[in-house]
A and B are shown apart, each in its own frame.
Chain A
Amino acid sequence: MRPQRAKTIRQLPVDGQALKRLIEAGLTWLRTNQQIVNSLNVFPVPDGDTGTNMVLTMQAAMDEISDSHERNFGKMAHAVAHGALMGARGNSGVILSQLWRGFARGVDHQETLDANSLARAFALARDTAYKGVVRPVEGTILTVSKDIAAAAEKAEINAIDPFEVLDEVVKEADLSVQRTPELLAVLKEAGVVDAGGKGLFYILEGMLRFANGLPLDTALTTVQPLAAMTFENSLETIEPGQDFEVVVDFRPTNSLDLESFYSQLQEMGTSIQVGEGEGIYRMHIHVPTEKLYEPINYTRSLGTITKASIENLIEQMETIRATQGGGRLTLAPVEPGQIAVVAVSPGAGISRVFASLGAAAIVEGGQTMNPSTQEIINAFENLPTDQVIILPNNKNIILAAQSAAGLTVKNVAVVPSRTIPQGLAAMLRLAPDNEFDEVVEEMTEALDNVVSGEITTATRSVEIDGVAVIEGQTIALHNGQLVLATDTIENACLGLLKKAHAENYELITMFYGADIPKSEVNRIEDVVRSAYPEQEVEVQEGGQPHYQFIIAIE
Chain B
Amino acid sequence: MGHIAIVTDSTADIPEELTERHNIHVVPNILVIDGRSLEDGKGITRQEFYTSLPGMKAFPTTATASSGTYQQLYQRLLQEGFSQILSIHAASLLSGIFNAASLAAQAFGQCVRVIDSHYVTLGLGFQALAAAEAALHEPLENILALIEDVRQRVRVIAMLDTLEYVRRSGRVSWAKAHLGELLQIKPLVEIRSGQVVRLGEERTRRKGIERLLRHLRDLGKLERLAILHTNAEDEAQRILDDPRLDLPVKPFCVNVTPIIGAHVGPNGLGFAAVVR
Contact = CB atoms under 8 A, between A and B. Distances in A.
Interface of A: 330-333, 352-353, 355-358, 424, 428-434, 442, 506-507, 509, 536, 538, 540, 554
B177 A357 contact: no
List the 8 closest pairs (A to B, CB-CB), nearest first. Answer: A428-B201, A356-B182, A433-B197, A429-B200, A431-B199, A356-B178, A506-B204, A356-B181
Given A431-B197, A432-B174, A357 B180 contact: yes
Given A352-B182, A540-B182, A540-B183, A431 B198 contact: yes
A428 B200 contact: yes
Most buried by B among A428, A429, A442, A509: A428
B200 A554 contact: no
Contacts of B199: 431, 434
A494 to B, nearest CB: 22
B209 to A, nearest CB: 12
B223 interface: no
Given A330-B178, A356-B180, A554-B203, 13 more contacts: A332-B179, A356-B179, A356-B181, A356-B183, A358-B174, A358-B198, A428-B202, A429-B200, A430-B198, A431-B198, A433-B198, A434-B199, A540-B183
Nearest to A434: B199
B31 interface: no
Contacts of B197: 431-433
Interface string B193-220: 0000111111110110000000000000
A260 to B, nearest CB: 56
B192 interface: yes
Nearest to B186: A428
Contacts of B184: 507, 536, 538
Contacts of A540: 182-183
B185 interface: yes
Main secondary structure, interface of A, reads: loop
B173 interface: yes
A47 B44 CA distance: 60
Contact of B174 (A330, A332, A506): A332
Contact of A333 (B174, B183, B206): B174
Contact of B192 (A331, A356, A430, A433): A433
Contacts of B174: 332-333, 358, 432
Contacts of A355: 177-178
Given A506-B204, A507-B204, A333 B173 contact: yes
A356 B180 CA distance: 5
25 contacts: A330-B177, A333-B174, A333-B177, A352-B178, A355-B177, A355-B178, A356-B180, A356-B181, A357-B179, A357-B183, A357-B185, A358-B177, A358-B198, A424-B183, A428-B200, A428-B203, A430-B198, A430-B200, A434-B199, A442-B200, A506-B203, A507-B203, A509-B183, A536-B184, A554-B203
A442 B215 CA distance: 13
Nearest to B204: A506
Contacts of A509: 183, 203
Contacts of A357: 179-180, 183, 185, 201
Most buried by A among B182, B185, B199, B207: B182
Nearest to A552: B203
A256 to B, nearest CB: 53
Interface in B100-147: none
A554 B204 contact: yes
B182 A353 contact: yes
B155 to A, nearest CB: 13
Contacts of B203: 428, 506-507, 509, 554
Contacts of A506: 203-204, 206-207
B159 to A, nearest CB: 12
A353 B182 CA distance: 6
Most buried by B among A333, A353, A433, A536: A433
A430 B179 CA distance: 12
B183 A431 contact: no
Contacts of A431: 197-200
Contacts of A358: 174, 177, 179, 198
Contacts of B181: 356
Contacts of B178: 330, 352, 355-356
A428 B198 contact: no
Most buried by A among B178, B179, B181, B200: B200
Interface string B239-272: 0000000000000000000000000000000000
Contacts of B183: 353, 356-357, 424, 509, 538, 540
B142 to A, nearest CB: 32
B177 A428 contact: no
Contacts of A536: 184, 204
Interface in B140-183: 173-174, 177-183
A430 B189 CA distance: 11
A431 B206 CA distance: 20
A355 B182 CA distance: 9
